[in-house]
Amino acid sequence: MKTLLRALLPLLVVAGAAGILRWQLASRLALPVQERKAAVALVQVLPIQARDHQLVVYAQGTVEALDPLPLAPEVGGRVVEVSPQLVDGAFCAEGDLLLRLDPADFELSLAAAEARVGQARAALALEQAAADLSIQDWTALVEGEPNALVRREPRIPPAHANLPAGEATGGRGRRDLGRCQVTAPFDARVEGRRVSLGRVLAPGTVVASLLPTAAAEVILPLALEDLDHLGIDLACWKVDLPVTLEARIGGALVQRQARLIRSLPTLDPASRMLRTVARIADPFGLDGQRTPIGPGLFVQASIQGEIARGVFVLPRSAILSGDRVHLADDEDRLRTRQVVVLQRGRDEVLIHGGLADGDRVVLTTVPVAAEGMMLEIREGNR
């Protein structure tokens, strides 16, 4: 009997557990079935209309001096005077005396040349007087025309020739004497002075560089795809377009106006961009009305180009990869549209294909975007 109970006990335990489980399953409460709601994204949209827009091309470069002139005397000599304006950074006006050489040797040369001119004139006058006297004697003693020897023709031409040669020597002496005074050929700023009082200079020795103050230039590299926006091509070397230059000086944003005037003949060998030249009037602000932007300053340039007709202007954040945008349709559902980009600016993108008037462009980033998903439009966009 005990053996039988030990054999049936496991079966009784399993049967009891099965009965309890069945009772629990029969008496449990049915959970309500919840309807799954479709995902809705809260977005901000921008209704768009086509309009005309001024194309702007951006570039950057460094201000450079316009044709710096090496200042060098045309004659040699000892420096006897150096102007206070001949120092680095100083300004000088056209005609200002910058340097003076010792004129003593040139004054002596000029005096000798003038003496030779006087001698040549006296010799010529003497020959002419002798010729006149000889002709008078011939006429008084002999009938007929006097011959060449009587008229002293072999001696007068050399005397005539000596006079212009002497005058030329005198003119050269006066010119060299004047060149002892080195003056500024135009309004300029001095850079790189290399002269001191008492130094002996040879002709052509560079003593400083003069930077013209009338204008400066900026080399602006342009991408080839931007040339159409400006109405120029690789063969167009002479242009005239307004340019706005910007630079930060001491924490302040400085703006100056310039003109794009020409392009250089070759592309930049590293970037394959077209190098253009913008000219700035009065870069040092000497008129007192403009902020100085001297050579070496890095500037950002905005070049005004042509007018684009019938384009859509969108913020850069609205453009997705692959030149696509998200739109909200009439039922507030998400749609993806391929667009044609005309120009990408710093903050905005110009679209000239793929959109229509009245389209609503989604400005909000949708993390998990699905075509046709429901959108909730923020208040103020309806």
Domain holding 88: CATH number?
2.40.50.100
User: What sign results for the dihedral spanned by CA atoms 270, 271, 276, 282?
Assistant: negative
Mean pLDDT of the chain: 84
Given a contact cutoff of 8 angstroms between Cβ atoms, the answer to whether 198 and 221 are in contact is no
Share of the chain above pLDDT 70, in %: 77
Least confident segment among 218-222, 279-283, 369-373: 369-373
Q: Decide if 24 is inside a domain.
A: no
Distance CA 64, CA 247 (A): 14
Task: Say what the pLDDT of residue 37 is.
Answer: 55
Q: Are residues 238 and 278 in the same domain?
A: yes
Nearest to 365 by CA among 333, 325, 338: 325
For residues 86 and 194, state if they share a domain. Answer: yes
Residue 212 binned pLDDT confidence (cut-offs 50, 70, 90): very high
Q: Are residues 80 and 203 in the same domain?
A: yes
pLDDT value at 265 more than 70: yes
Quick one: 225 and 246 in the same domain? yes
Who wins on pLDDT, 202 or 140?
A: 202
Average pLDDT (96-103) is 94
Token reading at 297: 């300053």
What are 345's two structure tokens? 């600016």
Whether 186 and 174 share a structural domain: no
User: Which of 166, 189, 212 finishes a domain?
Assistant: 212
Residue 27 in any domain: the answer is: no
Query: Is residue 147 classed as helix, strand or coil in its secondary structure?
Result: coil
Listing DSSP states for 256-294 in one string gives EEEEEEEEEEEE-TTT--EEEEEEEESTT-TTSSS----
What Cα–Cα distance (Å) separates residue 328 from each residue in 51, 171, 294, 335? 21, 88, 51, 6
Say whether both 217 and 207 belong to one domain.
no
Residue type, 64: E
Q: Which is nearest to 208 in space by CA: 88, 303, 292, 326?
A: 88
Q: Is the dihedral of CA 358, 364, 370, 373 positive or negative?
A: negative
Tell me the residue type at 196: S
Confirm whether 218 is domain-assigned: yes
Q: In which band, very low, low, confident or very high, does the pLDDT at 204 lie, cut at 50, 70 and 90?
A: very high
- Whether 228 is covered by a domain: the verdict is yes
Question: How far, in Å, CA of 260 to CA of 57, rounded?
Answer: 12
Phi-psi region of 250 (alpha: psi -120 to 50; beta: other; left: phi over 0): left
- Model confidence pLDDT, tens digit, residues 323-341: 999 999 999 999 999 999 9
**Domain boundaries, position 145:** 103-178
- Count the Cβ atoms, other than its own, within 10 Å of residue 104: 12
* Rounded Cα distance, 24 and 253, in Å: 79
Count of structural domains within the chain = 4
| 138 assigned to some structural domain | yes
Mean pLDDT of 130-135: 68
76-94 residue pLDDT tens: 999 999 999 999 999 999 9
| Mean pLDDT within 252-265 | 92
- Residue 148 binned pLDDT confidence (cut-offs 50, 70, 90): low
Question: Domain check: are 192 and 319 in the same one?
Answer: no
Is residue 30 scored above 70 in pLDDT? no
Same domain, 78 and 205: yes
The last residue of a domain, from among 192, 212, 232: 212
**Same domain assignment for residues 326 and 351:** yes
- DSSP alpha helix (H) spans, the chain: 2-27, 104-141, 156-178, 227-230
Write down the pLDDT at residue 63. 95
Tell whether 174 and 136 lie within a shared domain: yes
Say which range, 44-53, 188-197, 286-295, has the weakest mean pLDDT: 286-295
Mean pLDDT along residues 239-253? 91
Pairing of strands 51-65, 298-315: antiparallel
**Contact at 8 Å (CB) between 201 and 73?**
yes
CATH number of the domain residue 351 falls in: 2.40.420.20
pLDDT for the residue 59: 94
Residues 160 and 207 in one domain: no
Question: What pLDDT does 7 receive?
Answer: 62
Of 340, 335, 334, which Cα lies nearest the Cα of 354?
340
Residues above pLDDT 90, as percent of the chain = 51
Q: Which of 126, 153, 178 finishes a domain?
A: 178
- pLDDT, position 249: 87
- Residue 1 clears pLDDT 70, i.e. is over it: no
**Are 98 and 190 in a shared domain?**
yes
Q: How far apart are CA 45 and CA 382, in angstroms?
A: 9
- The CA distance from 288 to 191, in Å, is 22
Residue with tokens 């072999």: 154
Q: Is residue 36 part of a domain?
A: no
Tens digits of per-residue pLDDT, 157-171? 666 566 676 677 777
Identify whether 201 is part of a domain.
Answer: yes
**What pLDDT is recorded for position 168?**
73
Instruction: Let me know if residue 284 belongs to a domain.
Output: yes
CA-derived radius of gyration, the chain: 47
Whole-number Å distance between alpha carbons of 241 and 230: 8
pTM, to two decimals: 0.70
